[in-house]
Structure 1
Amino acid sequence: MLLRGAARSSSVACRFLNFKEFKKGVTRNQFQEKIVDALCSGERDRASTLLLELGHERPTLSSNDFISILQHCTKLSDPLFLMETWKLMEEKEIDISRECYYLAIQALCKGGYLNEAFRLMNIMRDNPSVHYFLPIYNKLLGACVQMHNISYVNQCLDLMDHQMVGKNEITYYQLLKLAVFQQNLPAVHEIWKECTNLYKPSIIFLRKFIWSFSKLRDMESAYLTLQQMVDMVFQGGFLFSKTAEGKMRNLRLDIPAPCKGDSSLLRSAKENEGFMHSANRYYNDMGMHASTSEHYFNIGNIKKNAFDISKSTVRKQKSIAAMKLLKWSFSDVMHACAVMQNDVLAEQLLYQMQSLGLQPSRQTYNAFTMAVLNARGFHDAIEVVKIMEKKNMKPYDSTLVCLSVSCSRNLELDLAESFLDQISTFEGPYPFNAFLEACDALDLPERAVQSLTKMKKLNIQPDIRTYELLFSLFGSVNSPFMEENLMFQNDAAKQIRAIDMDMMKNGVQHSQLSMMNLLKALGTRGLVKEMIQFLQAAENPIPHYQSSLGTSLYNTVLHVLVRAKETNAAISIFKGMISCGASPDAATYTIMIDCCTIIDNFKSACTLVSRMIRDGFVPQIFTYTSLIKILVESEDFDKAFRLLNQGILDGIQPDVLLYNRIVQKASEKGRIDVIELFVEQMHRDRVQPNSSICRNVFFAYVDGRFYKTAIEALQVLSMRMISLDDNVLDERQAEYEHLILNEETEDETKITNLFIEDGREDHSVALLILRWCAILGFPISWTSNKSQWAKRLSMNYDRSILVADDNSESDRFFSTTLTRRQA
């Protein structure tokens, strides 16, 4: 009885203890749930209190009592609470499992606490039961790659080599991502070489390589790898499934490749069998199962009882998933074709997809459209868009933006606007700016205003480029009378001020170009007063205009003022420019020298040239033209002649416009001697006359009643208009005489059309002059240099070379200039 009672008491005690243990387990699970709920609710203090209670009230704890907490820290990337939990686990001297290490390092990596992750890895390394665990190293390596920290990556790889955990496809994929980030194509090839030497990459891994080659623009490698993937897909012999996150996962046994420094790289068959056994155990620990020791699964090796589906269903699912992967890889290569403008390969890929039964996706068609657009232009790209429309596919907004911009650049405004209307979401005003630029090129401010209105309705914020183009658009003058129309000027001023106010309202500060276009717009419209007001606003410390001052801006204002003959204002602005510290450039000095021609002040012009040389700018042809213009206007032809010769000695090549100005003024004053001197100088400088020179010389002689000389000079100058080479005139004499001496009136039209089409209007004028001389009965001489008029000009020129006056200010100045340039 006592024994029986003792036995009964023992049985009751055991049941009580079992119940107590069960209650204890439930309580610990509840503790984890409460802690997780507190963390999800954002109650960190309460979670910390519950964690301390868990540690104090339960003297015996295991890793399982913290799994849910660690999982939560991993999912929500809460490394701080994880470290708090881990500290408690260490204080309680809990035997930490492999899964806890994995979750902890994963949470630290997701939170960016790589130093703490490395410290935990070193602790784990000393634990012989968990040190061989490649997924942990892959997580750490992935975090280092994601942060683009090369130092951490090398540290992780060194740790992996030291632990001899090897590498698998996940490891290589992380290295591929790093190589793509570094734009290191040789590294990708090295990874490919290492992988293919150790084992045959899976279909999923081939896709990673195709992505890498495409990103790094290695079209040949991407294409060859794609063809290898096509062969593998249609040969079969693979299996994969989807993870919980919806990603493709390879179910083939991914045996880690030995480290390069591992002496056991070449193993015997027996050693490989042992290595396989270790790998299987490692996958079982992760909840994965490997049913074969071969590198590749064969669909026939999968047992029916392992999966509750038929073989045909497996093949169908395998085919669908494989085709999806293949379609993605085609799309990757197609995107690279778009970037590389390789439309030929893009078209080849599209045909291959269709022949394989792969229906190109919207993404693939968009990439193909971009490849065609970049290589062939928008016309062919529009044809691809039409094909997409037939398949009920709408191009991406980014593709529509590129199409619209391309049409704008080709000045096809209607097409550009139609693509703009199809865009759903705008990331900025870029396509509208391209449209405004086209409006500016075509001088269509009305279309630009419509585009701006559309931007306002779509709530698209204009940027500085938008305003630069708007000011440029309103700076154009469509008809000559607009500049002098007071009503038009008032409207223009309101428009320009409205744009500036809108710019200020949107917080866009003026750039150099926007301010320049604004001032140019006001100057073009004749709004000089408003232009000066805006310039003064820019000179003052007003934030909206503060950063827009510069030499080019002052040049814009000075040019407008000089053109408007507002010389006093130009001189005042020039002085203010100097006082503000803005350095004049060659254009500034040229504008101000031109201002001196208006006020007829040669001395000031020479002073400006002197300062121009001191600042390191060499006088050009337009500098001499302006100075000579001043002298000619004051009828100082002798000094103009000496200055012209000095310029020639200074390396300046005069043009016909310079001579035309002198001859015109001399003709107005009846100075035949000056005309003959400069005409001979022009001939010696090998400058061909134009119709204006012929007209001025002819009327100068006619006004002086030298009719015969007028005809003779007209003939000589006409011959020189055709060519300065007598041999050329001899070759063309028969052809031209037929046109000149023929009495049919149609020949005049023939002469005009013959040379105007070739852009040689002076030839037409010269032949028509010679034809007119022939009609008047004057003989035509084709040896212009043997003309008595030409000989007389040459002889008089040699006798009439004017000696430079050493006391002349201009001669002293230009002698100094020549000396400095030669030095």
Structure 2
Amino acid sequence: MYRALWLSPLRFILSSSASKLTPYVSRGPGRSGIDNGAGCSCSRSVTTLIGNEFIRCQDESTRKILQVQIVSALRSGERPGASALLLELIHGNYSLGADDFHVILNYCARSPDPVFVMETYNVMCKKEISLDSRSLLFIVQSLCNGGHLDKASEFIHSVGEDDGIFPVLPTYNYFLGACAKTRSGYHASKCLELMDQRRVGKNEITYAALLKLAVFQRNLSAVNDIWRHYIDNYSLNILPLRKFIWSYTRMGDLKSAYELLQYMVDLALRGELFVQSNRGKLHSSRLDIPVPSNGETGSEKVAFGVNDHMVSPRLDAHGNSIVECNSSGGQSNETESSTMAVPKGQNETPATRILRWSFNDVIHACGQSKNSELAKQLMLQMQNLGLLPSSHTYDGFIRAVAFPGGYEYGMSLLKVMQQQNLKPYDSTLATVSAYCSKAFQVDLAEHLLDQISECSYAYPFNNLLAAYDSLDQPERAVQVLARMKQLKLRPDMRTYELLFSLFGNVNAPYEEGNILSQVDCCKRINAIEMDMLRNGFQHSPISRRNVLRALGAEGMVNEMIRHLQKAENLSVYSNTYLGTPTYNIVLHSLLEANETDLVINIFKRMISCGCPANAATYNIMIDCCSIIQSYKSACALVSMMIRDGFSPKAVTFTALMKILLNDGNFEEALNLLDQAALEDIHLDVLSYNTFLRKAFEKGMIDVIEYIVEQMHREKVNPDPTTCHYVFTCYVEQGYHTTAVEALNVLSLRMLSEEDKESLQEKKQELEENFIMSEDPEAETKIIELFRDSEEHLAAALLNLRWCALLESQIIWSENQSPWAKELSKKYG
């Protein structure tokens, strides 16, 4: 095997020397020689030459074999063997140069293996082998790829002084590219200073690396500077245009990106977008010759002609760099150019692929800024140019044009992709699913998420969890969690915030907590907290509030206070305060549990720790005063509330009226009612029901009728509680017929929340299906409406059905009710 390696160069040497030597002459079997024209063998000088060449080739072959063996040992993980072979290489009886280590250094650059590359460099230094430009580049590449930017920077700065060889431009460019990948502006600045000091210069690769670094640093002014320097020295073609369009889209400068894209389109329409592939990389076929600036720099006009077209760099009013495309000294006709197609047969050339990528970049930027109009314009332009949109194109387009209220548009675009045999990205499905969730189209949202194969972000699942939370369907949220686990998707903080809201409260609405539900509630909260800690999350303000709200809803006062104290201790440790909304949740829950002493203590503690009260806090405390019957304290709180800049609202007047009514002071309470009307404060049905409850307890029918007419005049629709107080008061006073008529009218007003015309249209349907129906399941169907959160409709239908069972004529217009007319006449 070894013979084959050195015989080949020997044959080359002999054959190349044939013109200087005499022809080969055969001397019979087993004999050979060279005839020198005198009938003798080859001279001693020729023999010596052949011997030296033989030794040199043998040494070269051995060196190459050792390099290959070192690389093989490194590839197989035999580092001690590689080190031993490296020592064998340098201790051989032959001279070595930097090129004898290129194979090793190149492998270390690609691996990367910064440890062995430095070991090789140290061995070269001991052997006093000077580096050449290639070995220097390989060492810098290895250090950069291994994440040792500091060492690479130190190496570049020192190697020129120590070894008498300065790095060439590709070495600096590679280091700047590594700085761009790691977003290290510090190392890049030091490198640029050294380049200026050593007068290395720059080329397009340098500007490309600096451009990427500027984008990663979100430095738009730097991008503009690079743009100006670039057009001062180079001609614009498709590849740099693509990079600048990408940069401006990442910086959110849609205007500049769009105008550069239009210039690229202009080049395409003139047939000047041609690129050729070289070893997998795209290169422009146009000559890269710097254009003379004629002394014009900076913001001055730098123009270069292309078929009587002119490109002029400029800045807009915001300092953004843009390009104007003019034809024959005038503005280009955008409408005309957009209807022209890319030359036939060039739709899948490298140039048109780059053009499509640039369109995709700008469309994705439209998606980031929700610029639907520009996105639609670009899609239409692609269609007119004959550029077929890809799945990537639709991914950005859907982000730009779909929105929560218009999720149907997103679904229709998915159908269009299906017709074009384009498979949507997982991110596309996630986007449309998120919009469906926000529109509460949970079935569609869940169907789309089931099609996702990979997902690295939790937001589409969080949106679906939020929809189930709003719809009070925690049982369906379990399926979402199972799907996330199947995809090995790590929850984020928003996920845990929603989990506490979904599963913290065990009981359904309108149900109070009990011992079993409270135990279950604790288990759920602890389980979520443990999983949250395993994934490295601490409580956020929202998650903390959701936990406190769940504990309060279950009536777990002690557990809620414990969580509050824990949160307060953490806030003291972090030198922050919990926030007013957190305290408001605790105060409200304690008030619901009738723990007035704790409410007052927590309020004092809240104020003492510097947490300001807001309007909701004051209203809770005023409501607390209504429970402890302290009108004086309530008035003091109202004064504090106004002093802090909060105006009393309907809930404030309701609490004050409750105190007065509990004291039997109806006259002063009615004065507050009139004052609220004068201050243009629209009281809600809860405020009026406060009056009705006390009037019912006192049997004061006149007050009942006055309040009912006030509600009608102020267009406040009654609720089931209103009907109960009015009907029961009349019954207890012996006015049964009036009670049924009043119940009929009030139920009619509950049904009239939309408009009376629609009610008249539904009259027959409601009577046949619910009110007059003889179907034994009629009342069950009405009760089902409660589950659909249509409580007022269900209560009104049950009331009217009961009125019909009492053989009372159902009134569908208030003009047919003597009771309604009498109240209007008496109190109107």
Task: Tell me if both proteins adopt one fold, taking TM over 0.5 as the criterion.
Answer: yes
Alpha-carbon distance change, 666 to 371 in structure 1, aligned in 2, over 3 angstroms: closer
How far is 1:388 from its partner? 0.7
Partner of 1:296: none
Partner of 2:396: 367
Partner of residue 536 from structure 1, selected from 562, 566, 586: 562
Report the TM-score, using the length of structure 2 for normalisation. 0.64
* Further displaced range: 389-398 or 50-59: 50-59
| 8 Å contact kept, 1:125–1:131 | yes
3-state SS, counterpart of residue 88 of structure 1: helix
How far is 1:632 from its partner? 4.3
| 8 Å contact kept, 2:638–2:648 | no
User: Does 1:110 pair with 2:120?
Assistant: no
* Further displaced range: 607-616 or 530-539: 607-616
Counterparts of residues 656-675 of structure 1 (less than 5 Å): none
3-state SS, counterpart of residue 228 of structure 1: helix
User: Does 1:94 pair with 2:134?
Assistant: no
- Separation in 2, partners of 1:352, 1:624: 61
Query: Residue by residue, what CA displacement relative to the aligned partner does 1:363-394 show, whole Å, maximum 9, x if unpaired?
Result: 12222222221598322222211111112222
Counterparts of residues 11-50 of structure 1 (less than 5 Å): 11-50=46-85
- Separation in 2, partners of 1:10, 1:202: 60
| 8 Å contact kept, 1:164–1:258 | no
User: Does 1:248 pair with 2:271?
Assistant: no
3-state SS, counterpart of residue 57 of structure 1: coil
Partner of 1:562: 591
Alpha-carbon distance change, 262 to 137 in structure 1, aligned in 2, over 3 angstroms: farther
Letter in 1 for 2:282: M
- Separation in 2, partners of 1:349, 1:6: 84
- Separation in 1, partners of 2:698, 2:532: 60
User: Does 1:180 pair with 2:180?
Assistant: no
Partner of residue 233 from structure 2, selected from 190, 198, 211: 198
- Separation in 2, partners of 1:553, 1:775: 49
User: Does 1:338 pair with 2:367?
Assistant: yes
Partner of 1:228: 263
Partner of residue 416 from structure 2, selected from 387, 392, 395: 387
Partner of 2:176: 141
Partner of 2:524: 499
3-state SS, counterpart of residue 349 of structure 2: helix
- Separation in 2, partners of 1:151, 1:579: 47
- Separation in 1, partners of 2:39, 2:148: 62
Alpha-carbon distance change, 462 to 499 in structure 1, aligned in 2, over 3 angstroms: farther
3-state SS, counterpart of residue 248 of structure 1: strand
Which has the higher Rg, Structure 1 or Structure 2? 1
| 8 Å contact kept, 2:426–2:453 | yes
Letter in 2 for 1:340: S
3-state SS, counterpart of residue 377 of structure 1: helix
Counterparts of residues 416-565 of structure 1 (less than 5 Å): 416-455=445-484, 458=487, 460-473=489-502, 483=511, 492-493=517-518, 496-497=521-522, 499-508=524-533, 510-521=539-550, 523-524=552-553, 527-528=554-555, 530-536=556-562, 539=565, 552-553=581-582, 555-565=584-594
Query: Residue by residue, what CA displacement relative to the aligned partner does 1:38-87 show, whole Å, maximum 9, x if unpaired?
Result: 33233444433433343333462212211112212221233333333333
Query: Residue by residue, what CA displacement relative to the aligned partner does 1:642-694 show, whole Å, maximum 9, x if unpaired?
Result: 9979x99xx9989798799689868977999x99xxx9xxx9xxx989899x9
Alpha-carbon distance change, 563 to 140 in structure 1, aligned in 2, over 3 angstroms: closer
Partner of 2:379: 350
The unaligned stretches of length 5 or more in structure 1 are: 264-314, 703-745, 760-766, 785-823
Alpha-carbon distance change, 325 to 127 in structure 1, aligned in 2, over 3 angstroms: farther
| 8 Å contact kept, 2:98–2:130 | yes
- Separation in 2, partners of 1:77, 1:625: 74
User: Does 1:396 pair with 2:425?
Assistant: yes
How far is 1:395 from its partner? 1.1
- Separation in 1, partners of 2:265, 2:824: 86
- Separation in 2, partners of 1:378, 1:666: 50
Partner of residue 110 from structure 2, selected from 69, 75, 82: 75
Counterparts of residues 573-652 of structure 1 (less than 5 Å): 574=602, 585=613, 587=616, 590-600=619-629, 605=633, 609=637, 620=648, 626=655, 629-635=658-664
RMSD (Å) for aligned C-alpha atoms: 5.8
How far is 1:319 from its partner? 7.0
Alpha-carbon distance change, 540 to 372 in structure 1, aligned in 2, over 3 angstroms: closer
Query: Residue by residue, what CA displacement relative to the aligned partner does 1:271-328 show, whole Å, maximum 9, x if unpaired?
Result: xxxxxxxxxxxxxxxxxxxxxxxxxxxxxxxxxxxxxxxxxxxx98997222222222
Alpha-carbon distance change, 448 to 122 in structure 1, aligned in 2, over 3 angstroms: closer
- Separation in 2, partners of 1:175, 1:608: 65
| 8 Å contact kept, 1:373–1:403 | yes
Alpha-carbon distance change, 127 to 262 in structure 1, aligned in 2, over 3 angstroms: farther
| Structure with the bigger percentage of helix | 1
3-state SS, counterpart of residue 483 of structure 1: coil
Letter in 1 for 2:205: I
How far is 1:91 from its partner? 3.9
Alpha-carbon distance change, 374 to 153 in structure 1, aligned in 2, over 3 angstroms: farther
| 8 Å contact kept, 1:439–1:445 | yes
3-state SS, counterpart of residue 91 of structure 2: helix
Alpha-carbon distance change, 228 to 643 in structure 1, aligned in 2, over 3 angstroms: closer
Partner of residue 405 from structure 1, selected from 414, 434, 437: 434
- Separation in 2, partners of 1:617, 1:595: 21
| 8 Å contact kept, 2:275–2:282 | yes
Partner of 2:188: 153
Alpha-carbon distance change, 154 to 340 in structure 1, aligned in 2, over 3 angstroms: same
| 8 Å contact kept, 1:589–1:609 | yes
Query: Residue by residue, what CA displacement relative to the aligned partner does 1:675-719 show, whole Å, maximum 9, x if unpaired?
Result: 9xxx9xxx9xxx989899x99xx99xx9xxxxxxxxxxxxxxxxx
How far is 1:400 from its partner? 0.9
Alpha-carbon distance change, 465 to 176 in structure 1, aligned in 2, over 3 angstroms: closer
Alpha-carbon distance change, 158 to 445 in structure 1, aligned in 2, over 3 angstroms: closer
3-state SS, counterpart of residue 402 of structure 2: helix
| 8 Å contact kept, 1:167–1:257 | no
| 8 Å contact kept, 1:183–1:216 | yes
For this pair of structures, how many residues does the alignment match?
Answer: 659
3-state SS, counterpart of residue 66 of structure 1: helix
How far is 1:397 from its partner? 0.9
How far is 1:403 from its partner? 0.7
Partner of 2:328: none
Identity %: 39
Query: Residue by residue, what CA displacement relative to the aligned partner does 1:739-798 show, whole Å, maximum 9, x if unpaired?
Result: xxxxxxx9xx99x97996699xxxxxxx9799959988x99799x9xxxxxxxxxxxxxx
- Separation in 1, partners of 2:525, 2:69: 61
- Separation in 2, partners of 1:755, 1:355: 48
Report the TM-score, using the length of structure 1 for normalisation. 0.64
| 8 Å contact kept, 2:264–2:355 | yes
Alpha-carbon distance change, 247 to 468 in structure 1, aligned in 2, over 3 angstroms: same
The unaligned stretches of length 5 or more in structure 2 are: 1-37, 298-343, 731-744, 759-812
- Separation in 1, partners of 2:600, 2:479: 40
| 8 Å contact kept, 1:558–1:573 | no
Letter in 1 for 2:434: V
User: Does 1:214 pair with 2:261?
Assistant: no
Alpha-carbon distance change, 655 to 234 in structure 1, aligned in 2, over 3 angstroms: closer
Of structures 1 and 2, the one scoring higher in RCO (CA 8 A, sep 6+) is: 1
Partner of 2:17: none
Letter in 1 for 2:390: S
Alpha-carbon distance change, 758 to 444 in structure 1, aligned in 2, over 3 angstroms: farther
| 8 Å contact kept, 1:167–1:256 | no
How far is 1:416 from its partner? 1.3
- Separation in 1, partners of 2:91, 2:180: 40
